[in-house]
Amino acid sequence: MLQDKNIAFYAPIKPPDHHIPSGDRLIAQNIYKALKICNANVELASKYIAYSKRHDPAILKDKKNGALAEAAHLIEQYKSLPKEAQPELWLTYHPYCKAPDWIGPLVSKQLEIPYVTIEAAKTGQGGVEDPWRPWREEAQVGIKTADLHLVFKPSDRDYLSELLGDEHKLQGFSTFIDAENIKLAKKMKLPEHWDKKVPVLITTGMMRKGKKLDNFHMLAETLTSFDEAFNLIIVGGGPEEEEIQQAFSNLDAKQIHWTGIIEHGEVLRWIRSSDIFIWPGWKEPIGMVYLEAQLQELPVIAYASMGVPLVVENKITGLLASEGDIKALRENTGTLLTDAELRKKMGTNGRKKVLMQHGIEAAARRLSETLGGLLKS
């Protein structure tokens, strides 16, 4: 239903070809690929980045002015084209408080085409003072104009239902990954001094302030003074690398291998070389890395936080603890460290489940049916 239809795609947080890897970039890439699979004429409408790490009012003003200028440019550009060459639908990925979409709603209104979002959300930050409120209100202006919202998480559905007053413009959509292109990776050579009989844990994350740093501290606390033997691979790097290394200083340095920042293919090879994937996932919105770990047949240990249970099935493909319960996280780790048969069973289940329920081909079919219904014949 999307074949030969002109789709304008935009990701205000980060374009799919951005040089810095992240879960958001990966999801944007996968949406773009899924639209291509539908044989749509998909175009990256803009690379304008509306995202800000800080809530400074001056930044908000500057970002909005830049977006409005970009929207005016696009409107002029599109209107100069023949009608059959103009976008027939605009799809924005992940407009939220820190990355409002000022462009899509304006262009869609001027071209009189449907405006759709996927993973419109609300940041978990704010607190009593809520310094992000002006940003949130800006994001909500555009969100309210959408003809349809594709929703990944129950928390996003609750937020949008309250904002919009009903759910008739909301449709659930499963998180997905380009699973067909993620084969079982070739294993890396583990450190020679490691005992091959000792299970290997692996974790990966950007080493920066905020949730990532908090999760590393939770993991370090979980693994400190642990009874069962294990070795640990830590993948990633960033400005907080020194603090994170200090957090794991209570462990024997010989049982940890730090890879630093490496290419995605090498990350998958290290995952494939390990026995258990562990990442607390505190306030993890989606958890694409869990899908990748399961595709490499690793069982997962994490919290049942936000988007994690959407991609990891407790007691089937991994073991999930209640959010913030480090004692339970430690117990689950001990269970998998001492039960090789359970690790293998969950690893096999994980790959099968991701291929069946979270593959890009199935997502492409859903997109074609859903978006196609909004388009004129």
- Which of 224-228, 348-352, 371-375 shows the lowest per-residue confidence on average (mean pLDDT)? 224-228
* pLDDT category of residue 124 using cuts at 50, 70 and 90: low
Which pLDDT does position 251 carry in this prediction?
Answer: 96
pLDDT at 181 over 80: no
Mean pLDDT throughout 76-105?
97
Q: Which runs of consecutive H residues, i.e. helices, occur in 13-150? A: 23-37, 57-79, 103-111, 133-145
Mean pLDDT throughout 61-69?
98
pLDDT at 333 over 90: yes
DSSP string of 30-51, one letter each residue: HHHHHHHHTT-EEEE-------
As a whole number of angstroms, the longest Cα–Cα distance in the chain is 69
Which pLDDT does position 127 carry in this prediction?
Answer: 62
* pLDDT category of residue 337 using cuts at 50, 70 and 90: very high
- Whole-number percent of the chain with pLDDT over 70: 98
Mean pLDDT throughout 195-210?
95
pLDDT at 133 over 70: yes
Which pLDDT does position 123 carry in this prediction?
Answer: 77
| ∠ CA 149-153-159, rounded to 5° | 65
Nearest to 234 by CA among 247, 225, 70, 226: 247
Sorted by sequence, the CB contacts under 8 Å of residue 293 that are 6+ apart come out as 202, 271, 277, 300, 350
* pLDDT category of residue 128 using cuts at 50, 70 and 90: low
pLDDT at 281 over 70: yes
Which pLDDT does position 377 carry in this prediction?
Answer: 60
Give residue-wise pLDDT tens across range 137-180.
Answer: 999 999 999 999 999 988 899 999 999 999 999 999 988 998 87
- Give me the residue label for tokens 């262009």: 107
Mean pLDDT throughout 315-339?
97
Nearest to 222 by CA among 235, 211, 208, 232: 232
Q: At what angle do helices 23-37 and 360-372 cross, to 10 degrees?
A: 70
Nearest to 276 by CA among 174, 342, 175, 199: 199
Which pLDDT does position 126 carry in this prediction?
Answer: 60
Which pLDDT does position 106 carry in this prediction?
Answer: 98
DSSP string of 317-332, one letter each residue: TEEEE-TT-HHHHHHH
Distance CA 226, CA 222 (A): 8
- Which of 18-27, 39-48, 212-221 shows the lowest per-residue confidence on average (mean pLDDT)? 18-27
Which pLDDT does position 125 carry in this prediction?
Answer: 62
Query: Where do the domains of the chain lie, and which CATH numbers do they carry?
Result: 6-178+359-372 (3.40.50.2000), 180-357 (3.40.50.2000)
